[in-house]
């Protein structure tokens, strides 16, 4: 499975997957304390409860047989070669189109899953562009020394090979220029694993890759089931897994919501044939601490690639989605 990249600046922690005899894989130590870590048994019992609640959740069969995206519908298929300015423009949705964007809705498309295909209605390129274009950037400062002043001849300064983007460098107030649009496909994490999904590909002059926007009509997306699990009991030293940061074969990245004074942050994971349950253990500080939530990224290595298995948070029972860039 291809990695879904999130821009995170905190070092990742690695730990082998742990699994009970009734789950897949041989199992292993659950954190710094290894087999002596008493939290592991508590986590395993909770993971069993969450996995069973997921199997009986209302709407789960339809969700795993239909189309349900688990990441942003705006995708960068390759490394965009961001500069700080172009990244800001992408996250803010500052786009401008130098070409006509078709408003006609194409014929039905096909989503290709690892276990089959699904025919889906499509949206127009104009609708897709409207989803990524969030408005204009703020006005550029007129006294910015990095920005060339007006040329009295009305021409762009520089030689014959100088482009508009070369002459007007990004200054935090520039948009991204769409120079072409085609209909193609993009890899997308879904409830049925990584799928090839129809997408409008917008070529952008300032980036090294196209910006893809999924072309599937939202009306066919299946709502995420909500497993009914009891409130966590005896899990005061565990924290919620907030979202996924990446899936790369057997490597699974996710973010834990920890307190400012929590320490010894330890990821826990338990695998099943149809699900993967994750959480994090922490050591609470007995001192007074600020009340804030910090997102701490971790990575675990599963016994097998994630495939179409659903990743669930052990405290809430909720399925996790890939964190979006903006």
Higher confidence at residue 19 or residue 148?
Answer: 148
**CB count, 10 Å around CB of 134?**
12
Mean pLDDT value across residues 312-319: 96
List the one residue out of 42, 78, 1 whose CA is nearest residue 232.
Answer: 42
Q: Where are the domains of the chain?
A: 14-57+226-313, 74-140+159-220
Q: Where are the alpha helices (DSSP H) in the chain?
A: 39-55, 60-65, 84-92, 125-132, 164-167
What's the pLDDT score for residue 38?
A: 82
Please, which residues bridge with residue 110 across strands? 119
Instruction: CATH number for 74-140+159-220: choose from 1.10.287, 1.20.1250, 2.30.240, 2.40.128.
Output: 2.40.128
For residue 285, name the pLDDT band (cuts at 50, 70, 90). confident
At residue 309, does pLDDT exceed 50? yes
Contact of 311 with 254, CB cutoff 8 Å? yes
> Average pLDDT over the chain, rounded to whole?
83
* Strand positions, DSSP E, 205-292: 211-214, 238-239, 241-248, 251-259, 263-271, 275-283
At residue 222, does pLDDT exceed 50? yes
List the one residue out of 254, 268, 265, 252 whose CA is nearest residue 306.
Answer: 252
Question: How large a percentage of the chain has pLDDT more than 90?
Answer: 66
Least confident of 29-33, 138-142, 230-234, 246-250: 29-33
**CB count, 10 Å around CB of 17?**
25
How confident is the model over 191-202, as pLDDT tens digits?
Answer: 999 999 999 999
What's the pLDDT score for residue 219?
A: 95
What's the pLDDT score for residue 149?
A: 44
How confident is the model over 243-272, as pLDDT tens digits?
Answer: 999 898 899 999 999 998 888 999 999 999
Distance CA(284)–CA(295), nearest Å, equals 16
Give the three-class secondary structure for 89.
Answer: helix
Least confident of 67-71, 213-217, 225-229, 271-275: 225-229
What's the pLDDT score for residue 19?
A: 38
For residue 324, name the pLDDT band (cuts at 50, 70, 90). low
Using CA atoms of 242, 246, 247, 251 in order, give the dihedral in degrees to the nearest 10: -90
Least confident of 85-94, 143-152, 228-237, 264-273: 143-152
How confident is the model over 155-183, as pLDDT tens digits?
Answer: 333 333 333 334 345 457 889 999 999 99
Distance CA(256)–CA(272), nearest Å, equals 21
Distance CA(249)–CA(57), nearest Å, equals 27
Give this prediction's pTM. Answer: 0.76
The CA-atom distances, in angstroms, between 241 and each of 44, 84, 129, 256, 258 are 15, 29, 32, 5, 9
Give the three-class secondary structure for 91.
Answer: helix
What's the pLDDT score for residue 84?
A: 93
Mean pLDDT value across residues 206-228: 95
């Amino acid at each position: 499975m291809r990695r879904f990249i999130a821009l995170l600046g905190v070092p990742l922690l690695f730990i082998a997957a742990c699994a009970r005899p009734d789950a897949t894989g041989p199992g292993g130590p659950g954190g710094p304390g290894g087999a002596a870590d008493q939290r592991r048994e508590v986590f395993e019992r909770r993971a069993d409860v969450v996995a069973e609640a997921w199997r009986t959740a209302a709407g789960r069969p339809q969700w795993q047989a239909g189309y349900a995206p688990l990441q942003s519908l705006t995708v960068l298929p390759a490394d965009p070669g961001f500069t700080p300015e172009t990244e800001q423009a992408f996250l803010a949705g500052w786009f401008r189109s130098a070409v006509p964007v078709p408003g006609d809705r194409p014929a039905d498309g096909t989503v290709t899953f690892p276990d089959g295909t699904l025919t889906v209605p499509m949206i127009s390129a104009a609708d897709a562009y409207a989803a990524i274009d969030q408005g204009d950037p703020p006005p550029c400062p007129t006294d910015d020394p990095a920005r060339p002043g007006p040329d009295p001849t009305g021409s762009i300064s520089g030689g014959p090979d100088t482009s508009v983007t070369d002459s007007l460098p990004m200054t935090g107030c520039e948009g991204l220029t769409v120079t072409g649009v085609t209909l193609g496909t993009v890899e997308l994490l879904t409830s049925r694993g990584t799928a090839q999904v129809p997408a409008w590909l917008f070529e952008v002059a300032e980036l090294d890759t196209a910006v893809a926007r999924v072309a599937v009509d939202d009306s066919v997306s299946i709502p995420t089931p909500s497993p009914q699990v009891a409130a966590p009991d005896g899990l005061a030293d565990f924290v919620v897994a907030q979202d996924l940061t990446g899936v790369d074969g057997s490597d699974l990245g996710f973010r834990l919501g920890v307190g400012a004074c929590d320490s010894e942050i330890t990821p826990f994971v338990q695998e099943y044939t149809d699900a993967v349950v994750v959480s994090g253990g922490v050591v609470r500080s007995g001192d007074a601490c600020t009340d804030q939530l910090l997102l701490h990224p971790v990575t675990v290595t599963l016994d097998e690639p994630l495939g179409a298995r659903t990743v669930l948070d052990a405290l809430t029972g909720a399925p996790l989605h890939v964190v979006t860039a903006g």
